[in-house]
Amino acid sequence: MKKKIAQEVANAAEAKTAVPALPKRKRRFGDRPDGYRLRSLQPMSKVSPYIMPNRSGASVYFHESIEITEAENYIRKKRNQGLKGFGMMHLLLAAYVRVVSQRPQINRFLSGQRVYTHYDDIIVNLTIKRELTLDAEETIIKMHFSPSDTAEDIYRKLQKEIDENREVNPDSGFDNTAKILNFIPGLMLKNAVWLLKMFDYFGWLPKKLLDVSPFHGSMFITSMGSLGIPPVYHHLYDFGNLPIFLSFGAKYKKTELKEDGTPVQRKYIDYKIVCDERICDGFTLASSFKMFKTFFRNPHVLDEAPETVHRDVD
């Protein structure tokens, strides 16, 4: 598997032209506003959502450490090229988007005991502070990426969202929706949430609400490193359809021995992933995690669009 992943990464490095856009897929009965229903899955993939109906009960936990010498060199290079503030968050997002381009199965989600795919839209949710102070308000932004995006594409899209949400008195769609729900009395709010869950189960939630919901998307990412603490295993939400939660921690140093016995100090970061195991088989998940890590040993391949973008099954 390692050789196959290495070859795929090498192929991406050789790409010099933009990836042609995938043809638009037609909506069919049973599809949702935020995804297309997969109808050709194996029987077990269709049955497991009924055996494990809740996302919290179908979660798997993954922990990994990454040596970041090459990653830090790459980040410095990007900053010298004028990408102010380019950091580990951008690199993690770029690596994730590239993995989705080659393993579209991890861009699936479950809703109403059925498996869907986001197709060519990768939706990442992120909590940000409007200002870098302890008492500053928080808001959640939703970023839309394409499987063919490069590291610079990721950087520009993320910075655009952050800048727009840090303007003076910006009311995001999420903030406005939360304010409306806040005015509903407790008992009525409980019933309102139940009604939203029912609409979501049948795929009846309007797209405008899906576009602002922090509980719908491809992945939620959070930086514990900005708080100076290790990453946590963050639970998945049973409301909505988010299948992956990624948390990464602060940089730290570790003293290791070379092959000749000489001590050397290297830098690492840890990250933890909580994933809905029902979206794909274990082999695909393992392959995706391994590919994700390869981009930190050779991040320069993320400067070019992938040679091919793979599409999920029908």
Task: Give the DSSP per-residue string, 264-298.
Answer: EEEEEEEEEEEEEGGGS-HHHHHHHHHHHHHHHHS
pLDDT at residue 13 in the model: 46
**Residue 41 domain-assigned (yes or no):** yes
Q: How far apart are the first and last CA of the chain?
A: 25
Whether 309 maps to a domain, the answer reads no
pLDDT at 305 over 50: yes
The three state secondary structure string of 180-246 is: HHHCCCHHHHHHHHHHHHHHHHCCCCCHHHHHHCCCCCCEEEEECHHHCCCCCCCCCCCCCCCCEEE
Q: State if pTM tops 0.85.
A: yes
- CATH code where residue 86 lies: 3.30.559.10
Q: What is the DSSP string of 35-51?
A: BEE--S--HHHHHHHHH
Residue 283 covered by a domain? yes
H or E stretch including 254?
strand 252-257
Which residues fall within 8 angstroms of residue 215, CB to CB, at 6 or more apart?
237, 239, 240, 241, 242
pLDDT in tens, 142-166: 999 999 999 999 999 999 988 887 7
Q: Which residue has the higher pLDDT, 136 or 287?
A: 287
pLDDT at 203: 92
In a domain, 208, yes or no: yes
Specify the range with the lowest mean pLDDT, choosing from 45-49, 186-190, 270-274, 301-305: 186-190
pLDDT at 170: 58
Please check whether residue 212 lies inside any domain of the structure: yes
The average pLDDT across 36-64 equals 92
Task: Give how far the C-alpha of residue 36 lies from the chain's centroid of Cα atoms, to the nearest Å.
Answer: 18
Least confident of 206-215, 269-278, 297-306: 206-215
Is residue 312 in a domain? no
Cβ-contact 113, 124 below 8 angstroms: no
Please indicate, yes or no, if residue 94 is contained in any of the structural domains: yes
| Rounded-to-integer distance, Cα 244 and Cα 141, Å | 16
Q: Which residues contact 216 (CB under 8 A, 6 or more apart)?
A: 34, 123, 210, 240, 241, 242
* pLDDT value of residue 183: 80
Rounded to whole angstroms, the maximal C-alpha distance in the chain is 69
**Residues 276 and 47: beta-carbon distance below 8 Å:** no
Structural domain boundaries, residue 242: 2-18+29-303
Per-residue pLDDT tens over the stretch 195-241: 999 999 999 999 989 998 999 999 999 999 878 889 999 999 999 99
DSSP state of 57: G
Give the confidence band of 261 by pLDDT, cuts at 50, 70, 90: confident
- What's the domain count of the chain? 1
Q: Is residue 310 part of a domain?
A: no
- Residues in Cβ contact with 34 at an 8 Å cutoff, skipping those fewer than 6 apart: 116, 118, 123, 207, 210, 216, 241
